[in-house]
Amino acid sequence: MLGFGSSYDDLYAAGKKQLKDFQPSSATIGWAIQGLSWTDDATSDTSSNVSDTSGDSSQGEHVELSIVLGRGVLMLKFAISEATKLRNVSSFVQKSWSAGQDGLKPDAPLIAQVYSWARLSSAVQRVQNEGVEFYVDGQMTNIWSFEEAVRALGIMHLNNTASSSRLKHPITDTVSIAPYAQGQPLLELFYVRVNEIAKPLNTFFGRIYVTDSVGSVIVWTTNTTITAVTGEELVFVGPSRPLYAADEVTIGTVLLHSIAADSEIDIKFNPFDYYAGAEYDVPIIRRISQTWGSANVCYMAMTNGLYAKISVILVKKDDDINAKVYGDISAHNGFGQTLLFRKGSDATVPVKRQHAIPLSKALVATPRDKTLRVNADLYHDLGSDDYVQIAWGSVEFQPSYMRSEGKRITGASGAVEVRVTWM
């Protein structure tokens, strides 16, 4: 109806301002309400000019109606909705309201708490399970302890693992019928696979990153131009930490041709936007198209997941010579497969016995009711086009919080041990 979505990225794009630029005072909140009340037939002409209602230094500036709408909705979303969900926001709005016409600007930790409401809620609920320790990455929110999280939350987002029960019981009964999730909402990026190429412009460079409530993390990058090959998967270089999916998530793909006018393409997951159709526990494939060709991005947000920290140790070989390892290691989390290691015979990796094979990706999010399967197809290069098999096969692990275990995969002339720790 408004011509833009309800996510913060959508509101920032529509209003051309971010939360850090707003100063919620009695005057600015009043101007936001007034601006929204002027928007009769707004969807029929969002390019018409009206006075800016953001209440900052640009007050009185004539701007497009879509900007007024975006800024007005953003202001009221923060001052009403977020203030209800988070006590720290409520306290800030009260102080800013009392500060006079200019108001106050929210600081970075407060804004990060807004982005992390559902993640904080999930962390508080997880510890209701016996043996589960409280943990939340607080580098952005400055919230590290259970007590700080509880004090910050005005109301909590219920991470209900028994979704079907919502159809059978009243809302007031939901907590009593569904146990708290032992896992948490996580994102697994399975692959980015080249779909088709457009010769002669079949080369690209760039990066792929994920932005969640904790921040941004690179999962693939290259400074050199690479040639696109149909069906080939990009070998990730991470993530270096878990990817959280309780709140809004963006997968940013910057896959550019050196001389073409390609641009970044973002894939968004917003669990709070009904119209966006965001789905949990369903693998999603999105196609991105650029000048050089196209690629498929496959990912899944899960409601109740643990992440596996994986290492693969070279435990046995027929001789004491360091192995020149090549081949593939992959993992399947019950919904999709992702590469952990891939090297060709022309790009071997030296590995000593009882040492770890350097994985390009070592964290895999897995639903608690699924099985993690790790597959290995590894070889030792002997030179002169000769090789021996180190390991071939797979092992399976059941997600279990804080459990660590190792299982072996053998081959004709060696073995590896796959070690997994669940967090």
Query: Is residue 167 pLDDT above 50, yes or no?
Result: no
CA–CA distance, 149 with 9 (Å, rounded to integer): 25
- Owner of token pair 């909140």: 29
Query: Is residue 42 pLDDT above 60, yes or no?
Result: no
Domains 184-303 and 305-422 share a fold: yes
State the pLDDT confidence band at 58, using cuts at 50, 70 and 90.
Answer: very low
CA–CA distance, 200 with 114 (Å, rounded to integer): 46
Query: N- to C-terminal Cα distance for the chain?
Result: 42
Kindly write down the DSSP assignment for every residue of 179-204, as one continuous string.
Answer: PBPSSEEEEEEEEEEEEEE-TT--EE
- Residue percentage of the chain with pLDDT more than 70: 87
CA–CA distance, 329 with 409 (Å, rounded to integer): 11
Each residue's pLDDT tens digit, 286-341: 999 998 889 999 999 999 999 999 999 999 766 667 899 999 999 999 999 999 99
Each residue's pLDDT tens digit, 210-223: 999 999 999 999 98
Q: pLDDT value at position 272?
A: 87
CA–CA distance, 55 with 158 (Å, rounded to integer): 35
Contacts of 340 (CB under 8 A, 6+ apart): 310, 312, 329, 330, 331, 359, 360, 361, 362, 364, 374
Query: Is residue 54 pLDDT above 80, yes or no?
Result: no
Query: Is residue 180 pLDDT above 90, yes or no?
Result: no
Domain borders along the chain are: 8-106, 117-177, 184-303, 305-422
Each residue's pLDDT tens digit, 257-279: 877 778 899 999 999 877 666 78
CA–CA distance, 398 with 406 (Å, rounded to integer): 12
Residues 281, 378: contact at Cβ < 8 Å?
no
Phi, psi for residue 327 in degrees, rounded to 5: 130, -160
Q: List, in sequence order, the alpha helices (H) in 77-116.
A: 83-85, 87-98, 108-115
Q: Span 184-303: which CATH code? A: 2.60.40
Q: pLDDT value at position 308?
A: 98
Alpha-carbon 1 to chain mean position: 28
The C-alpha angle 300, 302, 305, rounded to 5 degrees, equals 125
Q: Span 305-422: which CATH code? A: 2.60.40
| pTM for the structure as a whole | 0.86
Token pair listed for 65: 């109606």
Specify the length of the chain in residues: 423
Residues 71, 15: contact at Cβ < 8 Å?
yes
Q: From 21, 24, 43, 44, select the one nearest 32 (Cα to Cα).
A: 24
Tell me the mean pLDDT in the region 387-403: 96
Token pair listed for 108: 């970075």
CA–CA distance, 140 with 353 (Å, rounded to integer): 40
Tell me the three state secondary structure of residue 96: helix
Each residue's pLDDT tens digit, 77-89: 999 999 999 999 9
Query: Is residue 372 pLDDT above 60, yes or no?
Result: yes
Q: pLDDT value at position 295?
A: 94
Each residue's pLDDT tens digit, 341-362: 999 999 999 999 999 999 999 9
Query: Is residue 391 pLDDT above 60, yes or no?
Result: yes
Q: pLDDT value at position 268?
A: 93
